[in-house]
Amino acid sequence: MAKNLYITAPEAGSGKSAIVLGMTQLLLKNIRKVAFFRPIIPDPVRPEARDHNIKLIMTHFGLDIHYEDTFAATLSQARELILGGNRALLLDGILDKYKQLEARHDFVLCEGADFEPTDAPFVFDLNADIAANLGGPVLMVVNARKRCAADLIAATQTSLDSLENKGLNVIACILNRALLTEEEGKTVTRALTVRSGASDPLLAFIIPEDPVLGCPTMGDVKDGLNAKVLYGHSFLNFLVRDYIVAAMQVGNFLDYLTQDSVIITPGDRSDIILGSLGTRYSSTFPDIAGILLTGGLDLPPSIHRLIQGWRMVPVPMLSVEENTIKTLQMLHTLRISLKPGDSRKINTALGLFDAYVDTRAIARRIIDLKPTRITPKMFEFNLIERAASRKMHIVLPEGEEERILHAADVLMRRNVAEITLLGNPTVIAEKITRLGLHFQPSVIQPDASPLFENYAETYRELRKKKSLSPEQSRDIISDPTYFGTMMVYKGHADGMVSGSVNTTAHTIRPAFEFIKTRAGVSIVSSIFLMCLKDRVLAFGDCAVNPNPTAEELAVIAISSAETAALFGITPKVAMLSYSSGSSGKGVAVDKVVEATRIARQLAPSLLLEGPLQYDAAIDPKVAQAKVPGSQVAGHATVFIFPDLNTGNNTYKAVQRSADDVVAIGPILQGLNKPVNDLSRGCSLADIVNTVAITAVQAQGEAERAGH
């Protein structure tokens, strides 16, 4: 298989960086050590400035590479060497830098040089020579924006011919930012995949234009114009869809406002400034993205004092030295880029890539799809992919919590699941706007829902032993956690995730009350998925049952093995104790011995061993000395702890033992339908992962039910 892939484009404006993001994630799903390399980078604006694309990839994916190792030369250095007759010297230097990365990594993803307006043929030819020198396959990205099907086919064919005439193996072509109909898209891909002269059929994919990626943010405006931020520093992620020059009196000007527009006006137009700011507090006007003051004119002191007295300035206010006309000209040549930390654009790009590109087809051409060891990144990326393969409906009761809103935005952009938020629709809409998020979730306010009375009556019937009154049932179901759990019970949602605000008890109590356990499962328990440096293990039960009996411990072991298998972990179950085999005695050991016997009786085909000490379960050398001949000892993947005290402390000790250990969970198991709990200190990644896990569990339940 290949050791590298070279991504290049025949012209500017292709959106190549979004494709590089998608390909990096694809590689990290399947390969442990991936390096990123740009042979030629643009000339830095400042001596200390770093290449934008290198910074984006290294920051987002946390690649452990020294910046100086990720490139060989700047574009001006490359041009100088070539014009001086030293092209071979340049290529040798690039190959030397590449080989150093290759020696330390399993795969090197290479991104070709960017285009300047005046030297497209020079850069295209240079990229072709570099790719040929590195000896790997090529993926070409074509700018499909504003091109009809016939023009797109002709331009792409010409570029493919040029690359193949240089002996390059172009395995795939991605036509990015397209505005084609479905039928036009089929015509284009059909024409490219059947072209003659290719040793293997070309993989051709079309990604449509997305307004989120095509629009700048206020941060882009700030950087592109070198503007000063006067107010609204926290809202620079607002998207910009239009520019409006304010020259009229404010009463007439307000009629021309459009959604996500930037108001451009001289700094002395206090009426326009105050009127524009006021629209963000009005539900009858569109939300502007920001205000751009021109001419280097400062606000009058009284206006400064007025604005400084507000609790919050609702939009960014920027200032530039240039006059209005010059500013407008600069805005129309603004370069839009994916910035590190811009989760909205990055997740939109990754979601589009996964939705429109057959990543497995590309992977089969360049890498081995059967990794022997799995890193935390590989597991997390594959988890998201698994969840997105069949979208399940997940309800989030804490819909007014800001972390939940950020996570819902990510989940919807990545197409991980269908999301419903519970809460007050007005409050949620206001928070989405204030946070600078751009998505439209499904929102249900429990006590205003048409389902409310039915849910209350169902709850009253399910809990009839409690002799609840109709008013008591309504009061209980008005709680978003109970309402969300009832959605799952009724089949109106496939799973629920809560706990970022609520306690664990409040989150899981409704599930215990009426979702209850699956047939054959007597106890609800939990596991943590422990993503170590080179493998993923399952630890159970570390969160729910303080001191399970031998019978309960056996059920926990079987449930944990089933959950582990659901997430691609081959279950080899170690029943843990302070003794291995028959070396120790005591009540605690006897419980594990009995639990092992019961589990073997209930699941005779399950690979299970106990009692085992942790070192004998995980270390083959120790296992050989303590439990020779065991199929589980030394190779265990599922670790069952005898009680909550041992399990909770052990998982936290393992989690904190190294920086690259990730603990995902707790994952509740044994319920009829999936409900999972978040920590109140959960991060955005924790929420996204837990929703993905819940979606995968829901897929498993659907398959079990034959749906």
- pLDDT, residue 199, reads 57
Pairing of strands 242-245, 228-231: unpaired
Among 649, 633, 637, 519, smallest CA distance to 581 is for 633
Residue type for position 605: S
Exposure b/e, 261-273, CB count within 10 A at least 16 = b:
bbbbbbbebeebb
Q: What percent of the chain has pLDDT over 90?
A: 61
How would residue 388 be classed by pLDDT, with cut points 50, 70 and 90? Answer: very high
Provide the β-strand partners of residue 530.
537, 663
584 has a pLDDT exceeding 70 = no
Pairing of strands 261-266, 290-294: parallel
- Rounded distance between C-alpha atoms, residue 471 and residue 365, angstroms: 63
How would residue 9 be classed by pLDDT, with cut points 50, 70 and 90? Answer: very high
Enumerate the domain spans of the chain. 4-212, 218-332, 390-516+682-693, 519-670
Report residue 248 as tokens.
Answer: 């009229």
Exposure b/e, 636-673, CB count within 10 A at least 16 = b:
bbbbbbbebebbbebbeebbeeeeeebbbbbbbbbbbb
- pLDDT, residue 167, reads 87
How would residue 427 be classed by pLDDT, with cut points 50, 70 and 90? Answer: very high
Quick check: 483 and 420 in contact, CB under 8 A? no
Q: What is the pLDDT of residues 296-309, one digit of tens each?
A: 988 888 888 888 88
**Which string of DSSP letters, residue by residue, matches 517-572?**
BPTT----EEEEEEE-SS-EEEEESSSS-SS--HHHHHHHHHHHHHHHHHTT----
Quick check: 287 and 259 in contact, CB under 8 A? yes
- pLDDT, residue 343, reads 85
Looking at domain 4-212, which of 3.40.50.720, 3.40.50.300, 3.40.50.1220, 3.40.47.10 is its CATH number?
Answer: 3.40.50.300
Provide the β-strand partners of residue 525.
669
372 has a pLDDT exceeding 70 = no
For residue 674, whether the previous peptide bond is cis, meaning omega lies within 30 degrees of 0, is: no
72 torsion bin: left (phi>0), alpha (psi -120 to 50), beta (else): alpha
How would residue 387 be classed by pLDDT, with cut points 50, 70 and 90? Answer: very high
Write down the CATH number for the domain with range 519-670: 3.40.50.10750
Average pLDDT over every residue of 432-437: 82
Among 168, 83, 180, smallest CA distance to 134 is for 168
Residue type for position 343: S
Average pLDDT over every residue of 192-204: 73
Mean pLDDT of the chain: 90
- pLDDT, residue 583, reads 65
Taking the mean position of all CA atoms in its chain, how far away is CA 516? 32
339 has a pLDDT exceeding 60 = yes
**Lowest mean per-residue pLDDT among 46-50, 136-140, 259-263, 577-581:** 46-50
- pLDDT, residue 47, reads 75
Q: What is the pLDDT of residues 596-624, one digit of tens each?
A: 999 999 999 999 998 999 999 999 999 99
Quick check: 499 and 526 in contact, CB under 8 A? no
- Is 519-670 in the same CATH topology as 4-212? yes
Q: Where are the alpha helices (DSSP H) in 333-401?
A: 343-356, 359-366, 376-388
With H, G, I as helix, E, B as strand and everything else as coil, classify residue 619. coil
Q: What is the pLDDT of residues 484-496, one digit of tens each?
A: 999 999 999 999 9
Angle, CA 460 vertex, CA 458 and CA 463 arms, to 5°: 110
Helices 470-477 & 480-490 angle (0-180, nearest 10): 90
198 has a pLDDT exceeding 70 = no
Q: Output 309 or 354, whichever has higher pLDDT.
A: 354
Among 313, 289, 292, 280, smallest CA distance to 237 is for 289
- Rounded distance between C-alpha atoms, residue 131 and residue 86, angstroms: 18
- CA distances 451 to 456, 480, 487, Å, are 9, 13, 9
Q: What percent of the chain has pLDDT over 70?
A: 97
Secondary-structure class of domain 218-332 per CATH: alpha beta
pTM: 0.82
What are the phi and psi torsion angles at 354 (to 5°)? -65, -35
334 has a pLDDT exceeding 80 = yes
Beta strands in 17-74 (DSSP E): 34-41, 71-74
Quick check: 496 and 488 in contact, CB under 8 A? yes
391 torsion bin: left (phi>0), alpha (psi -120 to 50), beta (else): beta
Q: What would you report as the CA-atom Rg of the chain, rounded to the nearest whole angstrom?
A: 29
Identify which of 40-54, 374-388, 467-481 has the greatest average pLDDT: 467-481
Q: Which helix (H) or strand (E) holds 242?
A: strand 242-245
**Which string of DSSP letters, residue by residue, matches 382-425?**
HHHHHHHTS--EEEES-TTSHHHHHHHHHHHHTT--EEEEES-H
Query: Could you say which architecture CATH assigns to the domain 390-516+682-693?
Result: 3-Layer(aba) Sandwich (3.40)
How would residue 379 be classed by pLDDT, with cut points 50, 70 and 90? Answer: confident
